Amino acid sequence: MDQHPLTIALQDDSPGYEISPARVPLATLASFASEVRDFLKGSGRDADADAAEVAVVHGSLAVQARDFSSPSLVHDLRMLETSSDISLIDPKRRAVVQKWQSAALKKGSLRFKISTPGGQVIAITNQTKYRAESERTLVHVEQYIRGEVVDLGGVTQANAHIKLPDGKTLVVQTDRNLIRAETENHLYKEVHLRIRAHMDLATGELIDAQLLEFVHYEPKFDQQQFSRLTRNGEEAWKDVVDPAAWVRQIRGEAD
């Protein structure tokens, strides 16, 4: 079976029209062509990208290379298909992927798609999470989260699957004793949790989250208590003509 041609496409309609070979800003065309060259070439050890013959095709704007052969490129495409860790690919190609991902994050309408010779499609959008694991900065955090429990328990490893307000699901490791101690069934209910985790400072992603406790948070408004506190406050401040001046005086600030 013949392989599919390698195709790298840019899709964007932010200029007010869909970019295509028939209509594209010159600066966009120039930068995209340079980036495609850098992606094909990589560190340049096993193929001559400058000699590659390509076609500019629809898709919206796509560069198609039918006969370009590079073992390192084949390897890197496989890594991009199977892993979000771009430290596994050629550093020159990694820089291009990071540039495309950054551009897509800034402009949601911008997307890049790589159709591989194997027939797979690698998409780089504002939802993509490619990163170099070796460059990650992780910090220990302890925080409260809110979400819906969509799965709880486990045969070999107890955990809770929490659907967060942004739609993503966070897997939180726990233990059977903590789950067993709960008198309320939390499944398919919104809960508040206190967790410990590692946080990626660049993305805010929580990693290796562990459940510390279910927080039984039931906010309610007590009108009688509020009224009582309001009366106490009015009584305490009744002789204060200018509250702002009084606060400055307590602070020792000069008028």
Q: Assign 1 a pLDDT band (cuts: 50, 70, 90).
A: very low
46 pLDDT above the threshold of 70: no
| 53 vs 17 pLDDT, higher one | 17
| 135 vs 210 pLDDT, higher one | 210
Q: Assign 147 a pLDDT band (cuts: 50, 70, 90).
A: very high
pLDDT score of 221: 80
Q: Assign 222 a pLDDT band (cuts: 50, 70, 90).
A: confident
Average pLDDT estimate for 129-153: 86
Contacts of 106 (CB under 8 A, 6+ apart): none
Q: What is the pTM of this model?
A: 0.53
pLDDT score of 94: 92
Mean per-residue pLDDT of the chain: 86
**pLDDT tens digit string along 174-183?**
988 888 888 8
CATH 2.40.50 holds for 136-215: yes
**pLDDT tens digit string along 152-205?**
887 667 889 999 988 888 989 998 888 888 888 888 989 999 999 998 776 788
Task: Locate all alpha helices (DSSP H) within the chain, ordered by sequence.
Answer: 26-41, 71-82, 91-106, 176-181, 223-236, 243-251
**pLDDT tens digit string along 71-91?**
899 999 999 999 888 988 998
236 pLDDT above the threshold of 90: no
Q: Name the region of 102 (left: φ>0; alpha: ψ -120 to 50; beta: rest).
A: alpha
Please state, in angstroms and rounded to a whole number, the distance separating the CA atoms of residues 224 and 232.
Answer: 12
Q: In the chain, which residues fall in CATH 2.40.50?
A: 136-215
The pair of structure tokens assigned to 199 is 């946080």
- In DSSP notation, 151-187 reads EEE-SSS-EEEEE-TTS-EEEEE--HHHHHH-SS--T
Burial classification of residue 77, based on how many CB atoms lie within 10 Å of its CB (0-12 exposed, 13-18 middle, 19 or more buried)? buried
